[in-house]
Amino acid sequence: MSSFLKDFKAFALRGNVVDMAVGVIIGGAFGKIVASFVSDIIMPPIGMILGGVDFSNLFINLSSKKVDTLAEATAAKVPVIAYGKFITTVIDFLIMAFVIFLMISLLNRFKKEEKEEPAPETLCPFCKMPIDPAATKCPHCTSDIPKDSH
């Protein structure tokens, strides 16, 4: 049992697992901010432009019981298709995806581009073709490469 706990501790405290946990927590908080931004700031003007429509209250009643709002339907346990909530969720997703795209683009812009330095080119003393500096035999002409020619 102690081996299991030791293995679990090693897994849980690994750097990338902790980083992932922090990312999930921050992502959840960011999701709430985006959801509030969409429902409280974006959707009201869109609803006004479309004639005063409240997207959060758009639904299809699947029963014969008369309800006027989604809140009434929920309280009365009337089956509904709440497509207004779905529209809001899709807009949440699109805004969140766009913001994440912008953040990653910005981070990539500031990230230093690491350029690989090309290996010094060594030429075969016999056929003059490029060879690996550590080569002992030329892959082109199969000549033995003297150690002092590198």
Chain segment 113-148, per-residue pLDDT in tens: 666 666 677 899 999 999 888 888 999 999 998 877
Q: For residues 70, 95, 37 and 81, what is the CA-based torsion angle, rounded to 10 degrees?
A: 0
pLDDT of residue 150 exceeding 60, the answer is no
- Kindly report which listed range (23-32, 37-46, 107-116) carries the lowest average pLDDT score: 107-116
Mean pLDDT of the chain: 84
Is the full-model pTM beyond 0.85? no
Non-local CB neighbours of 111 within 8 Å, separated by 6+ positions: none
Q: What confidence category does residue 81 fall into, taking pLDDT thresholds of 50, 70 and 90?
A: very high
Task: Give the residue with greater pLDDT, 14 vs 37.
Answer: 37
For 61, phi and psi rounded to 5 degrees? -80, 125
Q: What is the mean pLDDT of residues 14-29?
A: 83
pLDDT of residue 93 exceeding 60, the answer is yes
Give the span between the Cα atoms of 6 and 44, in whole angstroms. 53
pLDDT at 149: 60
pLDDT at 115: 63
pLDDT of residue 46 exceeding 80, the answer is yes
